[in-house]
Amino acid sequence: MKKRLAGFAVLSVAALISVGLAACGGSSGGKEGGILKITYASFPDYMDPQLSYTAEGWTAMGEVYIPLLTYRGAEGKAGSEVIPGLAKEMPKVTNGGKTYTMFLRPGLKYSNGKPVKASDFTYAVERCFKTNSGGSPFYTDIVGAEKFSETKSGGIPGIETNDKTGEIKINLVKPRGTFTNELGLMFVAPVPPGTPDEDLSANPPPGTGPYVITNSQPGRGWEYERNPYWAKANSKAMPEYPSGHVDGATVTIIRNPQTQVNDVEQGRYDWMQNPLPASRFQEVKSKYEGTQFVERPTISTYFFWMNEKAAPFDDQKVRQAVNYAVDPAALERIYAGTLTATQQILPPAMPGYKKFELYPHNLAKAKAMIREAHPSDMNITVWTDTESPNNEAGEYYEGVLKELGFKTKLKILNADNYFTVIGNLSTPDLDTGWADWYQDYPHPNDFFQPLLSGESIQPTNNYNLSQTENKQLDQQMNTLAEETLGPEQEGQYAEMDKAYMEQAPMAPYGNRTLDTFVSSAINLDSIVYNETFFEHLTSFEFK
Amino acid sequence: MERLAADERGPWRLALSRFLRNRVALAFLALFFLIVVFVLAAPLWADHVAHTGPNATHTLEKLQVGDETREVVTPAGLPIGPQWFEAGGKFFLGADSRLGRDEMVRLMYGGRTSLFIGIVSGLITTLLAIVLGLLAGYYRGWVDAVIARVLDVIWSLPVLLFGIALGISLAVGGLKIGPLEISGGSIWIPIFVICVFTVPYMARPLRGEVLALREKEFVEAAVAQGAGPLRIMFAEILPNLASTIIVFFALNIANNMLFEAALSFLGAGVQPPNSSWGTMITVGEQLLNTQPLLAIIPGTMILLTVLSLNIVGDGLRDALDPRSKVRLEAHAGMVEPKGTTV
């Protein structure tokens, strides 16, 4: 399932209780202890809090790296609320929305026993820029961050910290209405100073959450153990955060989803993290819904991106023709009932969503538009990943392009590194391909800035896959990002959605549902799921 | 008297008559030809019966069968099962997946791909093995040492694992060695991978035979007559390897088809949307619970093709070198070797 997504950090038991959801504890009547056996279909893009930008990564690390702020561990709208994480309370916003001040909770420790300091936040933000993280564009409004992103040296003067008092003051060059949400992302979760500025997937840095990752073997799996300093220090400093029920977990990568389903059915594994394969979805749903299986809507958009920087997709007419040619109804069927057709960027549950359909399926019209556009280059490479049904969506898309007269080559990459490869601008033949996007935070900016802002284009870990750069819409996006989201702004985001789709940098085709499938040994009712962060490891318990 | 008559017919005609007496081999040769005809007829079936191509998707289409309308793919994502001739030959074996491609058409085109890869890689492997075997066996010394060690190294590799690694990396990045350039999705990528890893299995035995043959009197005679190395290798020694080469070639095709199927099944061989019997098993495996035929049919085609080639190969070996059969049987304790018989 690789998806660009968001997710992050974790949390909060008391909060869960307060919203009446079973979060962690004895109320659900489960057993404490035990080792959970989990299977993923692919290894996360990175096992590194500053770098990961996929569902797998954020699910895997959500209970390990806690940012200063985080999201409430609850389903639906309740899960969209930003709450304090390592910070004592929500930031005080002053100076016309340009200064954020908060304090670190006292007594926090990393899993290696070293104390968490306020300046570690600065280090995390700098590391985010030094590693060219895909999340770094969220923080370029911090004073000095833009320059730091280029020079990678000299520090970020806009972040002032005091290790004695725990004070963290962040100065922005202009107000940013989404900044509270962005402080809750794992990209800026504190890590110990001196953590190398490189991908640490094989040796993840110490974290602050209730679990610690051990024995990470990229491509194969990893293990969780309880953070020895959680009980001693952090749980006392942040008592509302769930400590988790299981003593640990082992995660094994099993690339065949059929095997995963069989293994979970027969109790060899307790939970498969990725969605069920489309071919088994209805069967499992009918057999286990309510007992071992649950399906939930998500705030996501699945789409085909088209690289605007090179022929043939540098021509708006060609991109529009592709939108006419792609039939979301066919893709609904390919996703076997787990996807609802769409033709726009914002998903239904996102503020600002207003339904429109600019490109009703019309292959004849699409062919005529291609003839009219007469592209200079008809040879294109189509990219997708190996996970079903994304691979089939890619095959379908390649067939559509072929029908339009293009000479196509289909490249299907392992899901482990799909986004890393297509996010590297030096990869040759990045013409068009499949992608998806899950909300990082419940704000429409999250579906525009990372995916479509010219400022988000970067040489590696690039998520503006169509390499769209529209100065007028960029300006509008930046202006809107400064404002607090209200009905007026939502209306403007709806217009922006339409304006981008007129430019047609992508061909959106659906909003997905996701499922949770566990073995009969697991208490399904206790599992906490967050729209942006998915299943929380701390909520799993044995019956 | 019969023995004398046979001798007069010459070795090739003698071998042919022996082969024609092997009814099992003949039956499987006929089966192999049927399979070849079946896959060669793919465009005819696609154009005149199924009216669709191997990669054309029909996800949202409906079939009219009598008064009944059947969806090629149900909203739940289940592809239609075999229709046989109910829909005029369309979706004879059903649809292959949620993409709604005609399974029969893909089976026929996939067979062409599998056979093409098997035969072409078999040819290339055979040619390479002949050249390497002759050079190593004839020149001996450092030439033999270098070739033999390289073959040893390749032989010692876990073939499937390295084949997958090489296949996947080349499938993504393609191959460029000097003027040789193969794009990632080309079927020449699995052919290249198969050739790299199967050459030693033929070159090593050939080298052994050449080492023995070069000590024979007829080679000494050729040297005495002033024949050069090339002439000796290709005009004197090579004809004596013919029976071995023919047998190996038939078996090579079978083994290479199996190798291709394994590579494709694991995503390192033929790349989607193109089909081969290996990729069809991969697609079918996902629907094993509901549509087992999707995996069973291409699997059966591989089985029949490989089995027929192996039995034909055995038949050829028995016909071309009957002593080998006797040696094998003797080794297995079945009969006592009684010397040369015809």
DSSP character string of A14-40? HHHHHTT---SSGGG--B---EEEEEE
Q: What is the pLDDT of residue A35?
A: 98
Q: Supply the pLDDT for residue B117.
A: 97
pLDDT at B330: 54
Rounded to a whole number of angstroms, the distance from the CA of A358 to the nearest CA of chain B is 21
Tens-digit pLDDT profile for residues A368-392: 999 999 999 999 999 999 988 999 9
Q: What is the mean pLDDT of residues A134-149?
A: 96
pLDDT at B342 over 90: no
Is the confidence at residue B14, as pLDDT, over 60? yes
A504 to chain B, closest Cα gap in Å: 24
What residues of chain B lie within 8 A of the CB of A392, using their CB? 97-99
Indicate which of A262, A379, A395, A434 best probes the interface with B, i.e. most B CBs within 10 Å of its own CB.
A395
Task: Say if CB A183 and CB A440 are below 8 A apart.
Answer: no
| pLDDT, average across residues A208-220 | 97
- pLDDT, position A485: 93
CA distance A290 to A195: 44
d(CA B266, CA A255): 11
- Selected residue of A412, A424, A512 to mutate for chain B interface (largest B Cβ count, 10 A): A412
Q: Which pLDDT score, from 0 to 100, does residue B1 have? A: 47
Q: Give the 3-state secondary structure of A340-359.
A: EECCCCCCCCCCCCCCCCCC
**Residue A500 structure tokens:** 């981008």
Q: How many CB pairs under 8 A join A and B?
A: 83
CA distance A409 to chain B (A): 7
Tens-place pLDDT, residues B77-113: 999 999 999 999 999 999 999 999 999 999 999 999 9
Chain A: residue whose CA lies nearest to B183: A409
The whole-angstrom separation of Cα A255 and Cα A104 is 41
Residue in B with minimal Cα distance to A395: B273
For an interface test with B, the pick among A265, A282, A332, A333 (most B C-beta atoms closer than 10 Å) comes out as A333
Rounded Cα distance, B40 and B7, in Å: 39
Examine the pLDDT at A267 and tell me if it is beyond 50. Answer: yes
> Which residues does chain A have within 8 Å of residue B287's beta carbon, measured at their own beta carbons?
279
Average of per-residue pLDDT across A342-350: 96
- Kindly indicate the confidence band of residue A10, based on its pLDDT and cuts at 50, 70 and 90: very low
For residues B189-210, one letter each, b for 16 or more C-beta atoms within 10 angstroms of the residue's C-beta and e for the rest, the string is bbbbbbbbbbbbbbbbebbebb
d(CA A507, CA B184) in angstroms, rounded, equals 25
Q: Categorise residue B91: left if φ over 0, alpha if ψ from -120 to 50, beta otherwise.
A: left
Helix (H) or strand (E) holding B255: helix B238-265
- Joined together, the tokens standing for residue A519 give 């073995």
User: For chain B, what is the mean pLDDT?
Assistant: 90
Q: Which residues of A343-361 are buried (b: 16+ CB within 10 A; e: fewer)?
A: bbbbbebbbbbeeeeebeb
- What are the backbone angles phi and psi of residue B29, rounded to the nearest 5°? -65, -40
Residue B127 · residue B245 · CB < 8 Å: no
CA–CA distance, A395 with B59 (Å, rounded to integer): 12
When CB atoms are compared, the residue of B55, B76, B172 closest to A411 is B172
- Of A26-35, A244-253, B201-210, B330-339, the range with the lowest mean pLDDT is B330-339
Contact A236, A263 (CB under 8 A): no
Please say whether the beta carbons of A493 and A351 come within 8 A: yes
Which of the four pLDDT bands, split at 50, 70 and 90, describes residue A27?
A: very low
Q: Taking CB atoms and an 8 Å cutoff, what residues of chain B touch A391?
A: 272
- Per the CB < 8 A criterion, the answer to whether A226 and A13 are in contact is no
Unique residue bearing structure tokens 């030094």: A130
Residue type, A536: H
In chain A, how long is the greatest CA-to-CA distance? 70
Residues of B in contact with A280 (CB under 8 A): 289
In DSSP terms, A518 is beta-bridged to A271
Predicted TM-score (pTM) of this structure: 0.89
Residue A74 has a pLDDT of 84
Across the interface, whether the CB atoms of B99 and A392 are under 8 A apart is answered: yes
Sequence-separated (6 or more) residues with CB below 8 Å from residue B243: B15, B316, B317, B320, B321
Q: Are A58 and A8 within 8 A, CB to CB?
A: yes
pLDDT recorded at residue B278: 95
Interface of B with A (CB under 8 A): 55-57, 59-60, 73-78, 97-99, 168, 171-172, 183-185, 267, 271-273, 285-290
A380 strand-pairing partners: A408
Sequence-distant (6+) residues with CB within 8 A of B153 are none
Which is it for strands A300-306 and A506-518: parallel, antiparallel or unpaired?
antiparallel
Contacts of B274 (CB under 8 A, 6+ apart): B54, B55, B113, B185, B187
* B334 pLDDT above the threshold of 60: no
To the nearest whole angstrom, how far is the Cα of B186 from the nearest Cα of chain A?
A: 9
pLDDT top residue among B98 and B342: B98
Q: Do B99 and A410 touch (CB under 8 A)?
A: no
DSSP, res A386:
S
Alpha carbons B302 and B279: distance in angstroms, whole number = 12
Helix axes B23-40, B293-320, angle to 10 degrees: 130
- Residue A50 and residue A186: Cα distance in Å, rounded? 7
Burial letters for B123-160: b for 16+ Cβ neighbours within 10 Å, e otherwise? bbbbebbbbbbbbbbbeeeeebeebbeebeebeeeebe
Element (H, E) at A17: helix A13-18
Q: Which two tokens stand for residue A215?
A: 């024995």
How far is residue A215's CA from residue A195's CA, in Å, rounded to a whole number? 18
A517 half-sphere exposure, CB direction, 13 A CA radius: 30
Helix, strand or coil, per DSSP, at residue A385: strand
Report the share of chain A in percent with pLDDT over 70: 95
Q: Which of A16-30, B198-212, B226-240, B249-263 has the lowest mean pLDDT?
A: A16-30
B75 contacts A392? CB cut-off 8 A: no
Of the spans A270-279, A407-416, B41-50, B330-339, which averages the highest pLDDT? B41-50
Q: Can you name the residues that pair with A510 across neighbouring β-strands? A: A302, A341
Q: Would the pLDDT of B214 be above 60?
A: yes
- The yes-or-no verdict on residue A28 having pLDDT over 80 is no
pLDDT confidence of B329, banded at 50, 70, 90? low
Distance CA A13, CA A20 (A): 10
Kindly report the backbone phi and psi dihedral angles of residue B155, in degrees, each rounded to the nearest multiple of 5, phi listed first. Answer: -60, -35
Backbone angles phi, psi at A250, to 5 degrees: -115, 140
Mutate to test the interface with B, among A262, A276, A279, A385 (most CBs of B within 10 A): A279
Contacts of A398 in chain B (CB under 8 A): 273
Task: Give B65's DSSP letter.
Answer: E
Q: How far is A9 from chain B (nearest CA, A)?
A: 34
Quick: pLDDT tens for A445-466: 999 999 999 999 999 999 999 9
A277 chain-B contacts, CB cut-off 8 A: 286
Q: What share of chain A is helix, strand, coil (3-state, %, to 5)?
A: 35, 20, 45
pLDDT in tens, B113-136: 999 999 999 999 999 999 999 999
The tokens for B41 are 């007829």
Rounded to whole angstroms, the Cα distance separating A540 from A28 reads: 11
Sort out which chain A residues have CB atoms less than 8 A from B98's CB and list them.
278-279, 333-334, 336, 389, 392
Query: pLDDT at position B324, please?
Result: 61
Q: Is pLDDT at B25 greater than 50 in this prediction? A: yes
Angle at A393 between CA A388 and CA A396, to 5 degrees: 135
pLDDT in tens, A314-331: 999 999 999 999 999 999
Higher pLDDT, A7 or A41: A41
Nearest chain B Cα to A340, which residue? B75
| Average pLDDT for chain A | 92
- Check residue A41 and give its pLDDT: 95
3-state percent breakdown (helix, strand, coil) of chain B, nearest 5: 70, 5, 25
